[in-house]
Amino acid sequence: MLRDWCTWDADYHEIVQEIRRHLVRIAADRLPGAYTSVLMQGSGTFCVEATLGTVIPQDGKVLILANGAYGERMAQIAERLRIPHDVLRTEETVQPDPIQVDHALAADPSITHVALVHCETTTGILNPLEGIASIVRERDRRFIVDAMSSFGGIPMDIGQLGIDFLISSSNKCLQGVPGFGFVVARRSALEACGGRARSLALDLYDQWRTMEKERGKWRYTSPTHVVRAFAQALVELDEEGGVEARHARYQANHRELVHGMNRLGFSCLVPEELQSPIITSFLEPPAACGYTFSRFYADLKSRGFVIYPGKVSRASTFRIGTIGDVHPQTIRLLVQAVEECMTWERARNSPEPQSMYTES
């Protein structure tokens, strides 16, 4: 990222083209000719909005499966863009039921698309991609998958699953830095989307057509340094052994984290059989014992670890991610830091009155 890159240069365009080819190889290795990819400036949400706003026709309708904040965000996008939609909601700790999806599609033939968040990082739950994909295929609908927090870290073949549009971003399991997202799309499905977009800047079809016609050129200024960093991140994925090897490391990170946190008395929000190896929600200790997230967060940050606040609406939680250039030995150091920060527990068990917190 220390070298400047010109958006007009052929060498930069070739970097973009190789990224596009590489993404298709990762996503649809068995049917590479049937799929294509397109990069889009902005965060992952920009790509979700670009996809929903471009691929669903004016007379179409999308069924959104929501069991967390990111499914609800898709519903909010559909509402804002005035896209006809239904929302099939389940509790945040419950997976969408493929049978309910089947019933919804059977009951409403006007539904043309189904949208699902694969790994719902509100909780860390992993939704049943294969089961829902099977129903969508049988009912002959288009399938949109937000794989923001799973693509590159959990093995999948979107051709085999029948996914039409897979959305992800540069800074999650592929371990780049933030700045752009991308869509891996069934070529025939994307080719049918010309003129549908409800936005100029977020016209996924026009972005793709420009990249195809002009061999890697973006319509508007691209995040050149982020793109170059992402190209390197893809090299590092291959060097690690591909998605399967990275998935194994993430699983090892998750096991180490849960084992260590359980030993310290923390409980997971989501049952293990539904849990992804991407991010884990833990129930917070009761405030009555002296715990506050803000101080816990600050204490951990001072020791070199940054965690996430909870997003669950019906429980007090915090979240810890296990992706990125993170290894089991890193997780062991994190658990050690958590133990050092548990001053509320020491205060509760101390026979002498003392402050609930000590200075970091």
Query: pLDDT tens-digit profile of 94-116?
Result: 999 999 999 999 999 999 999 99
What's the chain's average pLDDT?
94
Q: Provide the pLDDT for residue 311.
A: 87
The b-or-e profile of 32-60 (16+ CB within 10 A means b, else e) is eeebbbbbbbbbbbbbbbbbbbbbbeeeb
Question: Are residues 163 and 24 in contact, defined by beta-carbon separation less than 8 angstroms?
Answer: no
Which residues of the chain fall short of a pLDDT of 50? 353-360
Give φ, ψ of 358 to 5 degrees. Answer: -110, 160
Domains in the chain (CATH in brackets) are: 10-240 (3.40.640.10), 242-349 (3.90.1150.10)
Question: Are residues 102 and 65 in contact, defined by beta-carbon separation less than 8 angstroms?
Answer: no
Entry pTM = 0.94
Provide the CA 174 distance to its chain's centre, in angstroms. 11
Q: Provide the pLDDT for residue 1.
A: 83
In tens, the pLDDT along 26-36 reads: 999 888 899 99
- Distance between CA atoms of residues 321 and 280, nearest Å: 6
In tens, the pLDDT along 55-94 reads: 999 999 999 999 999 999 999 999 999 999 999 999 999 9
- Distance between CA atoms of residues 237 and 244, nearest Å: 10
End-to-end C-alpha distance for the chain, whole angstroms: 34
Token duo for residue 228: 């170059």
Q: Provide the pLDDT for residue 351.
A: 59
